[in-house]
Amino acid sequence: MAEDLKVRTMAEFAQSGETPEILFWVGCAGSFDDRYKRVTKAFIKILNHLNISFAVLGNEESCTGDPARRAGNEFLFQMQAMNNIQILNGYNVKKIVTACPHCFNILKNEYPDLGGNYEVIHHSVFLHQLIEEGELKISSDHDLKNQKLTYHDSCYLGRANDIYEAPRKVLEAINVDLFEMKRNKAKGLCCGAGGAQMFKEPESGNKDINIERTEEALETGAKTIASACPFCMTMLTDGVKNKEKEEEIVVLDLAEIIAKAENL
């Protein structure tokens, strides 16, 4: 995946006696899902562009255990979590940035109970910080300028961690026209994938949740649906395909939007 990108592992940093500024936690989707690998690449391009010292765990990274815990397998969760904590503590990791709200939530809020205490930042907040500090300067002229766009709130970012403004501030910084869906922020509608629902067929009903949410996005008239979560991206992309709108509507992560605006 990173053959054309500058990426070093924590092991490589340790061998040279160096310490990176941040550990980029890639996550299962960012590592294995073909669509979300593009988000991983976009975020790495931004980090490289700004000469930010970062590392990944590479083959030492494994699932956080979030799906196992949400599905009720506490034993498997604790096995996965303790293995990760042992590796992270072994490298004396202090600061973690991840593009997955599920990884973010469990690393930040649930790992401390097992001895994993880190500063954990979601990439939407990290990007906003870079913009606020003047490190990330967005070009005033790009293809997305004044384009109509809507943003979908991830449950694990919003209701679980009260992160609503940072993603919107990132989008405002690139001068797009942001149109909110009728249900947004604390009243936003789940994409239908949370709580391990991503890995099973939905229960029978009148309409799948992701279709309902996609319809709300389409009602805004936006040509781009912005997302900040791999689960949400999958569900919304499937919803757009269900509506046969994939030639007109694109679902993009915040990192992809920034990378596109900066021609990275």
CATH number for position 209? 3.40.50
Q: Tell me: pLDDT of 146 over 90.
A: no
Note the pLDDT of residue 262: 87
Nearest to 99 by CA among 123, 120, 129, 64: 123
Residue 176 belongs to some domain of the structure: yes
Whether residues 110 and 43 fall in one domain: yes
Cα–Cα distance for residue pair 140/3, rounded to 1 Å:
31
Residue 59 belongs to some domain of the structure: yes
Whether residues 216 and 184 fall in one domain: yes
Whether residues 102 and 163 fall in one domain: no
Q: Tell me: pLDDT of 1 over 50.
A: no
Q: Tell me: pLDDT of 2 over 70.
A: no
Whether residues 146 and 254 fall in one domain: yes
Residue 4 belongs to some domain of the structure: no
Q: Is 24 exposed, middle or buried (0-12, 13-18, 19+ CB in 10 A)?
A: buried
Whether residues 167 and 252 fall in one domain: yes
- 88-126 burial, b at 16+ Cβ within 10 Å, e below that, comes to beebebeebbbbbbbbbbbbbebbeeeebebebbbbbbb
Residue 1 belongs to some domain of the structure: no
Residue 101 belongs to some domain of the structure: yes
Contacts of 15 (CB under 8 A, 6+ apart): none
Whether residues 112 and 161 fall in one domain: no
Q: Tell me: pLDDT of 62 over 60.
A: yes
What CATH number should be reported for the domain holding residue 16?
A: 3.40.50.1860
Percentage above 90 pLDDT, the chain: 84
Whether residues 142 and 256 fall in one domain: yes
Whether residues 23 and 109 fall in one domain: yes
Q: Which domain holds residue 71?
A: 10-129
Domain boundary among 79, 101, 129: 129
Whether residues 154 and 256 fall in one domain: yes
Mean of pLDDT over the chain: 94
Cα–Cα distance for residue pair 99/258, rounded to 1 Å:
14
Mean pLDDT computed over 105-129? 98
Tell me the pTM. 0.94
Percentage above 70 pLDDT, the chain: 97
Whether residues 147 and 252 fall in one domain: yes
Mean pLDDT computed over 178-195? 92
pLDDT confidence bin for 24, thresholds 50/70/90: very high
Domain boundary among 89, 105, 129: 129
Look at the chain and report how many structural domains it folds into. Answer: 2
Domain boundary among 79, 100, 129: 129
Note the pLDDT of residue 3: 54
Whether residues 42 and 143 fall in one domain: no
Q: Is 43 exposed, middle or buried (0-12, 13-18, 19+ CB in 10 A)?
A: buried
